[in-house]
Amino acid sequence: MDIKPEDGKDAWTRDQMQKLGRLVDEELPQGWGFFIMAFPFNDAPGRMNYVANGQQADILKLMREFIEKKERIGKLEGHHPI
């Protein structure tokens, strides 16, 4: 799938995500990892930005574990929308 940037919004979003990632990394205790994903609502499938302080293999493992757990449980426990 060919996903094309939308009028500079993708570059701006990427920059904002990098700023957010630096802030989160500074605020978390040492030894903690994070992964943040952002995506436009009602847009082309697959279009998103993410930032993380871990290795890609660790992030993918985390995502698989999260999805498997949530599919078994059937709901997001502890999910608090902003």
CA distance 66 to 37: 14
Q: What is the pLDDT of residue 36?
A: 94
Enter the pTM of the model: 0.68
Q: What is the pLDDT of residue 1?
A: 40
Inter-residue contact 25 to 53 (CB < 8 Å) = yes
The 3-state DSSP class for residue 35 equals: strand
CA distance 9 to 62: 28
pLDDT tens, residue by residue, 9-36: 888 889 999 999 999 999 999 999 999 9
The 3-state DSSP class for residue 80 equals: coil
Stretch among 7-11, 38-42, 45-49, 62-66 having the lowest mean pLDDT: 7-11
Q: Higher-confidence residue: 39 or 34? A: 34
**Nearest C-alpha neighbor of 6 from the set 36, 40, 50:** 40
Q: What is the pLDDT of residue 78?
A: 62
